[in-house]
Amino acid sequence: MTLRLVFMGTPDFAVPVLEAFLAAGDEIVAVYSQPPRPAGRGQKLTPSPVQACAERHGLMVRHPVSLKSADAQAEFAALNADAAVVVAYGLLLPKPVLDAPKYGCFNLHASLLPRWRGAAPIQRAILAGDSETGVCAMQMDVGLDTGPVLLRESVAITPRMTITQLHDDLARIGAPLMVRAVHDFAAGKIQPQPQATDGVTYAAKLAKDEGRIDWTKSAAEIDRMVRALNPGPGTTFELNGERIKLLAAEPVSGSGAAGTMLDDAGTVACGDGALKLLKLQRPSKSAVAIADFLHGLPLPKGTRLA
């Protein structure tokens, strides 16, 4: 079955899904994505990863500021789509948009719903110390990730897994899952299942200052922050008036006053346990391994980090 689809997405997480539907032979009649944003040192307007992918395939791209106006909704309905596929698009879809396609709108969400509804489910799963997460292909309704689920697949969150690794794993399994879910629904082979009413949690959008390290937290908590929040918004601490980015670390044995260096090799005491600093970055400098960092800026035993 070949479907006439609208694709709605913005970040690189959505690109494998768009490419999977193209590989399946579906007709993508329009791609909706967030507008180009300033990026890089020159702040040049840069298209989203989804827009860049769509343009490589010669697809029509739209980036309305809102879908609330009657004109935007009429323009969407005029596409006469069988379905809309939505992956991290960035705009809420009002009911007239949800109702316009023949089979409705379908979303790929990066969690095992109803856990971690909302904007930052991958990061929140790591921050919370979850042992597993996954992806859900769901039929959209007017709520925030509240619609019934067609298919789901889980993945383990291993002890040293970073946000980049987990993101890529979820994107990899999510793309074929979404194609199968939408096609099976259109063919009448699958029925959406309502989400459970218990176990609901919300993955709030990440705040810019959320990565500021509090050394009174346990080494395990700080380690999860480092793995969940890099490259953005990043994890940082203060040293001699500089804001240092901590890009990689691992929990180790040790104890002492929180924020105090326990040796000359980059081991810092936390509220519970200790953390071995592995990769850091000073302002306007390149990221370096701990040995190279200490060569330029020693952290002798007893140094206090803020």
**In this predicted model, what pLDDT tens digit does every residue of 277-305 receive, in sequence order?**
999 999 999 999 999 999 999 999 999 99
With H, G, I as helix, E, B as strand and everything else as coil, classify residue 159.
coil
The 10 Å Cβ neighbour count of residue 20 is 18
Phi-psi region of 129 (alpha: psi -120 to 50; beta: other; left: phi over 0): left
Token pair recorded at residue 50 = 């989804």
pLDDT digits (tens, 9 = 90+) for 205-261: 999 899 999 999 999 999 999 999 999 999 999 998 999 999 999 999 999 999 999
User: What span, in angstroms and rounded, lies between the C-alpha atoms of 305 and 264?
Assistant: 13
Give the CA count within 13 Å in the CB-facing half-sphere of 35.
Answer: 7
What are the phi and psi torsion angles at 287 (to 5°)?
A: -70, 135
Complete DSSP assignment for 152-219: EEEEE--TT--HHHHHHHHHHHHHHHHHHHHHHHHTT----BPPPSSS--EEPPPPGGGGB--TTSBH
> Is residue 169 over pLDDT 80?
yes
pLDDT category, 262, cuts 50, 70, 90?
very high
CA 185 to chain centre: 26
Cis preceding linkage at 176, omega within 30: no
pLDDT, mean of residues 158-164 = 96
pLDDT of residue 43: 83
pLDDT digits (tens, 9 = 90+) for 179-188: 999 999 999 9
Which is more confident, 1 or 96? 96
Spell out the domain ranges in the chain: 4-202, 208-296
> Is residue 23 over pLDDT 80?
yes
Cis preceding linkage at 283, omega within 30: no
> Is residue 40 over pLDDT 80?
no
Name the nearest CA neighbour of 59 among 23, 2, 6, 11: 6
pLDDT of residue 33: 98
Name the nearest CA neighbour of 205 among 126, 116, 277: 116
Per cent of the chain over pLDDT 90 is 95
CATH superfamily of 4-202: Formyl transferase, N-terminal domain (3.40.50.170)
What Å distances lie between residue 188 and 101, 103, 146, 150, CA to CA?
Answer: 16, 11, 22, 12
User: What span, in angstroms and rounded, lies between the C-alpha atoms of 80 and 93?
Assistant: 17
pLDDT of residue 141: 96
CB 29 within 8 A of CB 79: yes
User: What span, in angstroms and rounded, lies between the C-alpha atoms of 172 and 183?
Assistant: 18
> Is residue 2 over pLDDT 90?
yes
User: What span, in angstroms and rounded, lies between the C-alpha atoms of 98 and 15?
Assistant: 22
Is beta strand 117-118 parallel, antiparallel or unpaired with respect to 202-203? Answer: parallel
Residues 6+ positions from 204 with CB-CB distance below 8 Å? 118, 119, 120, 124
CATH superfamily of 208-296: Formyl transferase, C-terminal domain (3.10.25.10)
Token pair recorded at residue 184 = 């099976």
